Structure 1
């Protein structure tokens, strides 16, 4: 028996050296899994005044942000630092029908998306342009969707709610939250100018999730959409008008809850808020 066992061990050892690939090769993978824990951090809890954060903008002063609450709350913008401390409250003379997101242009103007439309009945959709140096100086960019014919449409066609907005090159990009089938994000374009406009449908993408926030990187090469506990990245885009044709990647951020606001801090870092009351940073 001892000789037989020794022989078997010798054969196995020989096979190990003759066919190393068989024993040492790792199982094939189809996609690299990002190390979320190394890339993701909770910065702070949001102050009590911000109980339902729905949008976020990164201010020019390092480590400072702007956020707001959604429907049923006061028309206030809240300046925060990265420790979650409330720095300033800007009380605007506007209605907060259903504020859902913030965008920012190259001059530092803030765009407030009063675009929440849960039941798809609204005819008073608007984006408000605010100059932070004079918060009471407000321009109203009113719009309607060019392809909405009924208010509301049938249940399966209720895709005229939006919680996601970004600015680029004097245009606003509005991304819908598909309340009909929870599958397709439609993308509309509106001039970033006061007046009444038809929102032009320029594309769509089947994310399979309801989109709750959006932003574009400072270099214009990446668009990030947000859904609950997920980031949807479109990289190496040729134009914001067709960002949905870029290289797509979905990143899960477990434990963050009802994530609502997202904004780029730099070309490879995003800041995220949750309606549960937290402020996060993610390194892409």
Structure 2
């Protein structure tokens, strides 16, 4: 797993340094370096050695994160500089390949056990955990459309009572956005949008105002506008080179500021000018 990630990190770092030509001229992004400021703001605690999901808790200005595949089924609460504050075991859940985390307006958490590097997993799911990180846990199965090879996905968020999943697509065929209702009995994802991004997506987040979302990869950040509540790829905003190691977690602090962590333990803040 580690060797696999390092190889893909190096490959996508090379892609990120190639510039913005594809994103600007073919996909309609603006160059992010004109609009965004990046600064490193802290380091993760040693307990978080493969940060792979991130949620911001506005009520106390802290972050929740978790480790990647095979880690303990724990959620770690840290401050914005990375100091460990609390550890919350989720004993009813199993970390097969936890890849992202989100929260709804009631502050319930959603952990995406959706990683599928081998394309062989049949037990993909999203865990819904109550806002108090208590005993109430719901396992939401995730199925892709019939007759489709089950892709790998490492990015998701929850909005408008739905789960949005972004595929990683290591074959460089672009990124699919699929969606399903949180409480629906029909638990098959449906394809909503596609975009020809050339770096595999490893994390996603939506801002509190629900007018913008971001995707992160090993090498680039992609910003999109949300117009008339339509979450899709039709309104690209910024693309920013971000060659800061194995970045897999991203969360909004407010409408215009995101926090990013990487698997080497660094924390970055990206602010719109």
**Is the TM value for this pair above 0.5?**
yes
| 8 Å contact from structure 2 (residues 32, 238) kept in 1 | no
- Shift, 1:119, TM fit: 0.9
For residues 183-236 of structure 1, the C-alpha deviation after alignment (integer angstroms, 9 at most, x for no partner) is 411111111127561011111111111000001111111110010131111125
Q: 5+ unaligned residues in a row in structure 2: which ranges?
A: 1-24
For residues 87-112 of structure 1, the C-alpha deviation after alignment (integer angstroms, 9 at most, x for no partner) is 00000111100000001100111100
Q: Secondary structure at the match of 1:34?
A: helix
C-alpha distance in 2 between matches for 1:214 and 1:277: 18
Q: Are 2:245 and 1:257 equivalent residues in the alignment?
A: yes
Q: Secondary structure at the match of 1:231?
A: strand
Bigger-Rg structure (1/2): 1
From 160, 171, 182, the equivalent of 1:169 is 160
1:15 aligns with none
- Shift, 1:82, TM fit: 1.2
Assess, with a 3 A threshold, how the Cα gap between structure 1 residues 33 and 145 changes in structure 2: closer, same or farther: closer
- Shift, 1:49, TM fit: 0.3
Q: Are 2:188 and 1:198 equivalent residues in the alignment?
A: yes
C-alpha distance in 2 between matches for 1:118 and 1:266: 32
| 8 Å contact from structure 2 (residues 204, 250) kept in 1 | yes
C-alpha distance in 1 between matches for 2:228 and 2:175: 19
- Shift, 1:147, TM fit: 4.1
- Shift, 1:83, TM fit: 2.0
| 8 Å contact from structure 2 (residues 74, 90) kept in 1 | yes
| 8 Å contact from structure 1 (residues 148, 160) kept in 2 | no
Q: 5+ unaligned residues in a row in structure 1: which ranges?
A: 1-29, 154-158
From 85, 88, 92, the equivalent of 1:87 is 85
1:13 aligns with none
| 8 Å contact from structure 1 (residues 166, 172) kept in 2 | yes
| 8 Å contact from structure 1 (residues 64, 81) kept in 2 | yes
1:12 aligns with none
| 8 Å contact from structure 1 (residues 168, 240) kept in 2 | no
Structure 1 segments of 4 or more deviating over 6 A? none
| 8 Å contact from structure 1 (residues 142, 194) kept in 2 | no
Assess, with a 3 A threshold, how the Cα gap between structure 1 residues 148 and 113 changes in structure 2: closer, same or farther: farther
1:143 aligns with 142
Assess, with a 3 A threshold, how the Cα gap between structure 1 residues 224 and 96 changes in structure 2: closer, same or farther: same
TM-score by length of 1: 0.80
Q: Are 2:202 and 1:212 equivalent residues in the alignment?
A: yes
1:7 aligns with none
Equivalences, count: 243
Question: Higher mean Cα deviation, 226-235 or 65-74?
Answer: 226-235
| 8 Å contact from structure 1 (residues 183, 209) kept in 2 | no
1:5 aligns with none
- Shift, 1:148, TM fit: 4.3
- Shift, 1:127, TM fit: 0.3
C-alpha distance in 2 between matches for 1:185 and 1:68: 24
